[in-house]
Amino acid sequence: MLRDKDNDQTGLFASIRDITNGLHKFVYKQLTEQISSENADIIIKYIQYQKTDVNLSDTYKLLVITSLSTLARYFKNKNFSQLTRSDIINYLDSFRKSEDDDPTHK
Q: Do 62 and 27 touch, CB atoms closer than 8 A?
A: yes
In Å, what is the CA distance from 31 to each residue of 27, 28, 40, 86, 93? 7, 5, 5, 25, 25
Dihedral (Cα; 60, 61, 65, 71), 10-degree rounding: 30
Residue 47 pLDDT exceeds 80: yes
* DSSP labels, 45-68: HHHHHHHHHS---HHHHHHHHHHH
The ranges assigned to domains in the chain are: 7-93
pLDDT of residue 28: 92
23-32 tens-digit pLDDT: 999 999 999 9
